[in-house]
Amino acid sequence: MNTKTTVISQEALDAQFAYCDQIAAYWQSLGIAPTAYVETYGCQQNEADSEKLRGYLVQSGYGIAAEAEGADVVIMNTCAIREHAEQRVFGNLGALTHTKRRHPRQKIFLCGCMAGETKVSDRIRQSYPHVDGVFSTHHLWQFPEILWNVLNRQKRQFFIEDEPGSIAEGIPQVRDSRLKAWVSIMYGCNNFCTYCIVPYVRGRERSRQPEDILAECRALIESGTKDITLLGQNVNSYGKDLSCGMDFADLLAAIAQIPGDFLVRFMTSHPRDASEKLFDTMAKYPKIAKQLHLPFQSGSTRVLKAMNRHYDRETYLQKVLYAKKVMPELVLTSDVIVGFPGETEEEFEETISLIQQVHYDSLFTFIFSPRPGTPAAKLDDPTPKAEKNRRFDKLCAVQNAISEEIHGSYIGKTLRCLVDGRDKELLTARTEGGRLVRFPGCDKLIGTYQHITITGATTWSLSGEIEKSSIKNSI
């Protein structure tokens, strides 16, 4: 198998931009201003991909719509991580038969991680004739060509050929927010955790060149972005496939030294490769947010081995202890799976004791979902569903109590927060660690940093008011 990363050439991208021009001219000749709606499922990687799809669409003359009803293009950018996520997509895809009936020129596309599964594309071919095109993440850079083929040839398009993966620089992006930006630093995953479908649908690990990433970050900061999240399935492997002599900590340090008032954060870190150098770098630079998402998945060394995670409970705990030592204010979050095949009650209790020991600010909790084609889906799984649900509920209850306690300890503190929007009558803001704060204030504060004194807390969020002595519009 060819495992080499393909770098998409400028000529190949220019050919895509030529399709954008053709599509725009096509609509212009009809005297129609077309619209497009992109629905995103799954993780930030998909959010970032949707921003590129919107970029291509705008370049092709489309206005971005807020719903599928009446839109000329509908794209479902899907997630395959758990069975439930896939069922939701199929349900919503079915409902699009009605929007298309009411607006017959609507063209419907399915892309993202589900599009990388043969069983999904087969099902679309056979049972969803109203879907005009399917393309996997490897083919996103060819979207203008796919759209043009659908418009021009009136024929369904399937761009689903598997490949190790490519890097395309220079696809336009229409970002969701002016204040916050996702910046992918690498794509794919080489880890093959036994439960996970991502390596099968997103290909091998491949890093963008540091100068491309730095240029993107510089441009964002100059245009007013205040919060950058670097994205990758395992950011700690950054650069291993390049010969640039830079690892992830070096890249982070370089970004943190760009002039301007901003914070940089990242996700996700695989504990195996999370180094003391990374934590020291985070501690050293004020512009690196003291927030770490470090998924542990299970507190049992036996289960971690069966998951192919390449670290054990003790090593994980040592790393967390070190990170907390060098960054006492660290906000720490994690992912955990309950009910992995063969997980015993004792092993589950090890997960509980780990979360009690670490004291996470919050957790993303999942019940194991067998993904066809992954090794874990073939394992014997004798634990009944009801028992898994009981474990899940217990896990959530323990964590909720911890989150509530940690949030409670914020009361009385004054924190510098980025005001990022409005939720009904209150403004919303984020602490440096990413905690949500609601407080009264006027819209002109959106986009500024404010010092907020925390006056209330729940499991999920904080509330407060602007520090009386220092009402300021920006810092």
Binding status of residue 46 toward ligand SF4 by CB under 6 A = no
Q: Does 366 bind ligand SAH (CB under 6 A)?
A: yes
Query: Which residue lies nearest ligand SAH, judged by its C-beta?
Result: 335
The pairing of beta strand 462-466 with beta strand 63-64: unpaired
Q: Interface residues for ligand SAH in 283-322 (CB under 6 A)? A: 295, 297
Do residues 278 and 330 make contact, with C-beta atoms less than 8 angstroms apart? no
State the nearest-atom distance from the C-beta of 197 to ligand F3S, in Å: 6
For Cα atoms 119, 120, 124, give the angle at the middle one, nearest 5 degrees.
Answer: 120
DSSP states along 86-122: HHHHHHHHHHHHHHHHHSTT-EEEEEEGGGG-HHHHH
Q: How many CA atoms lie within 13 A of 373 on its CB side?
A: 17
β-pairing verdict for 436-439 and 426-431:
antiparallel
**Going residue by residue from 112 to 141, which x/- string records binding to ligand F3S, judged by CB under 6 A?**
xx----------------------------
Taking phi over 0 as left and psi of -120 to 50 as alpha, with beta for the rest, 347 belongs to alpha
- Residue 369 interacting entry, from ligand SAH, ligand F3S, ligand SF4, none, C-beta within 5 to 8 Å by type: ligand SAH
Query: At closest approach, how far in Å is the CB of 344 from ligand F3S?
Result: 28
Residue 20 near ligand SF4 by CB under 6 A: no
Stretch that binds ligand SAH, among 63-71, 90-98, 241-249, 368-376 (CB under 6 A): 368-376
Mapping DSSP to helix (H, G, I), strand (E, B) and coil, where does residue 70 land? coil
- For residue 227, list its beta bridge partners: 180, 263
Residue 199 near ligand SF4 by CB under 6 A:
yes
Q: Which residue number places its CB atom closest to ligand F3S?
A: 42
CA 287 to chain centre: 21
Q: Which one of residues 198, 231, 267, 402 is an interface residue with ligand SF4 (CB under 6 A)? A: 198
Residues that bind ligand SF4 (rule: CB under 6 A) add up to a total of 10
Burial (0-12, 13-18, 19+ Cβ within 10 Å), 427: buried
Edge-first strand listing for the sheet containing 263-267: 180-184, 227-231, 263-267
Cβ nearer to ligand SF4, comparing 36 with 337: 337
Segment 15 to 54, residues that bind ligand F3S, using CB under 6 A: 42-43, 45-46
Tokens of 52: 């590129």
Binding part of the chain for ligand SAH, among 114-122, 282-290, 364-372, 416-424 by CB under 6 A, reads 364-372
# chain residues binding ligand SAH, by CB under 6 A: 17
Contact between 270 and ligand SAH by CB under 6 A: the answer reads: yes
Q: What are phi and psi of 92, to 5 degrees?
A: -70, -30
Nearest-angstrom CA–CA distance, 371 and 431:
36
CA 119, CA 371: separation in Å to the nearest integer? 12
- Binding partner of residue 371 among ligand SAH, ligand F3S, ligand SF4, none, CB cut-off 5 to 8 Å per kind: ligand SAH
For residue 23, state whether it binds ligand SF4 (rule: CB under 6 A). Answer: no
Q: Tell me which of 53, 81, 246, 337 binds ligand F3S, using CB under 6 A.
A: 81
Which range in 134-142, 163-171, 194-202, 404-412 contacts ligand SAH by CB under 6 A? 194-202
Structural contact between residues 154 and 181, judged by C-beta atoms closer than 8 angstroms? no
Residue 368: contacted member of ligand SAH, ligand F3S, ligand SF4, none (CB under 5 to 8 Å, by partner type): ligand SAH
Q: Which one among 241, 335, 465, 467 touches ligand SAH, defined by CB under 6 A?
A: 335
Should residue 207 be labelled a site residue for ligand SF4 when binding is judged by CB under 6 A? no
For 426, which DSSP code? E
Whole-angstrom distance, CA of residue 290 vs CA of residue 287: 9
The amino acid sitting at 146 is I
Scan for tokens 């217990």, then name that residue.
394
| Joined tokens for residue 413 | 């503190």
Instruction: State which of residues 35, 46, 229, 233 lies at the interface with ligand SF4 (CB under 6 A).
Output: 233
Nearer to ligand SAH, 286 or 373 (CB): 373
Q: CA-to-CA distance for 421 and 363, rounded, in angstroms? A: 24
Q: Is 42 an interacting residue with respect to ligand SAH (CB under 6 A)?
A: no
The pairing of strands 227-231 and 263-267 is parallel
Binding site for ligand SF4 (CB under 6 A): 189, 191-193, 196, 198-199, 233-234, 270
Binding site for ligand SAH (CB under 6 A): 81-82, 195-196, 198, 233-234, 268, 270, 295, 297, 335, 337, 366, 368-369, 371
Binding site for ligand F3S (CB under 6 A): 42-43, 45-46, 79-81, 112-113, 197-198, 202
